[in-house]
């Protein structure tokens, strides 16, 4: 049940903000919005305020805007989408993705203000021990302060890690203090980690929590959003060019991750939603037909040509875009199924 609720919360929040961006901008440039809906399927609740119907629908995943004139077959007037200048139409299209960058700033701001910022301490104090690893077998416990390894003093967590990593397979004598007891010792042998090519004993450092103020939290949230977006953009570029493997997750995989994160608490779930929102914003801006970025490209072509593309040309472009998205959806879903061992 937590997976279902977490999935509805995450997808609903992301798409709600995305559609809200289109809605606010369309209204601001004078377009008529006939309906703003949360969810899909039959209406549960609806109310007309002014010229717009606001509705909540039975399937609580996503939402949509019905902007007048988006469908070329509709009757057009001076407040239709197609009647507005190209800059206004571009603004409306891009606004959805822009809101997907605004949302993580808000979510991360809430995280920083309410929970602060956790960071690994450089003090040589054990924060967590993994079961059945050398440290656990040797009897070390969370809170133990490491003072020496093989008689050589340890002044920081970095020093301790360096010694462990360089001594895979070598028996080490760890000197530590616990509560009021000093100079206690434990003997252990670091395991060799094939992936990291180093020695490990199954410990992580103590975590320090820093509580920033409101203004600092806002700045940190914006900075973190930009940093993550830049990293994602580089990753997308490397996947497109083939430098890295395209490891994508579909709806099943995202739902599973949302459920797992939800079990860790509301703060990790908000961080997960922020991460996905940035991802959605970037993906939507790609110049692929059907996506917002593709619409911007066709509007740019219209501006250069001085007239819109023909209906047949638009249909052909959208069919290509839809085919690409369906292919990506199938590949991602197949990977989800294989990852979850559903075969």
Catalytic residues: 19
Quote the tokens at residue 75.
């009757």
| DSSP-H helix ranges across the chain | 2-28, 86-115, 134-138, 157-165, 214-241, 251-262, 266-284, 292-305, 311-339
CA dist., res. 324 & res. 249, Å (int): 16
DSSP string, 180-211: TEEEEEEEE-PEEETTTTEEE-SEEEPEEEE-
For residue 10, give the nearest of 70, 100, 76, 83 by alpha carbon.
100
Q: Give me the torsion for CA of 261, 233, 110, 92, rounded to 10°.
A: -120
For residue 111, give the nearest of 253, 228, 218 by alpha carbon.
218
Q: What are phi and psi of 309, to 5 degrees?
A: -65, 155
Residues in the chain: 343
CA angle 203, 208, 214 (to 5 degrees): 145
């Amino acid at each position: 049940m937590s997976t279902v609720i977490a999935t509805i919360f995450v997808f609903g929040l992301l798409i709600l903000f995305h559609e809200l961006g289109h809605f606010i901008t369309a209204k601001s440039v004078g377009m008529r919005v006939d309906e703003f809906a949360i969810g899909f399927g039959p209406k549960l609740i609806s109310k007309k305020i002014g010229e717009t119907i606001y509705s909540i629908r039975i399937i609580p995943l996503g939402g949509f805007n019905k902007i007048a004139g988006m469908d070329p077959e509709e009757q057009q007037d001076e407040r239709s989408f197609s009647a507005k200048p190209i800059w206004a139409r571009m603004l409306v299209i891009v606004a959805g993705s822009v809101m997907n960058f605004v949302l993580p700033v808000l979510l991360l701001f809430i995280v920083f203000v309410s929970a602060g910022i956790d960071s690994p301490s450089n003090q040589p104090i054990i924060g967590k021990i993994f079961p059945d690893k050398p440290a656990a077998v040797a009897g070390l416990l969370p809170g133990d302060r490491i003072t020496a390894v093989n008689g050589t003093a340890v002044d920081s967590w970095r020093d301790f890690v360096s010694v462990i990593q360089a001594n895979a397979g070598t028996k080490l004598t760890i000197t530590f203090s616990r509560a009021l007891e000093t100079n206690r010792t434990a003997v252990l042998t670091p395991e060799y980690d094939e992936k990291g090519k180093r020695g490990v004993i199954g410990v992580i450092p103590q975590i320090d929590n820093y509580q920033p103020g409101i203004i600092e939290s806002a700045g940190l949230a914006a900075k973190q959003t930009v940093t993550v977006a830049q990293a994602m953009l580089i990753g997308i570029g490397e996947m497109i060019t083939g430098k890295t493997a395209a490891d994508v997750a579909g709806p099943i995989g995202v739902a599973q991750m949302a459920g797992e994160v939800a079990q860790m608490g509301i703060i990790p779930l908000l961080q997960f939603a922020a991460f996905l929102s940035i991802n959605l914003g970037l993906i939507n801006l790609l110049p692929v037909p059907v996506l917002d970025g593709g619409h911007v490209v066709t509007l740019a072509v219209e501006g250069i040509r001085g007239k819109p593309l023909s209906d047949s040309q638009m249909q052909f472009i959208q069919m290509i875009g839809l085919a690409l998205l369906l292919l990506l959806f199938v590949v991602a879903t197949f990977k989800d199924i294989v990852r979850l061992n559903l075969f």
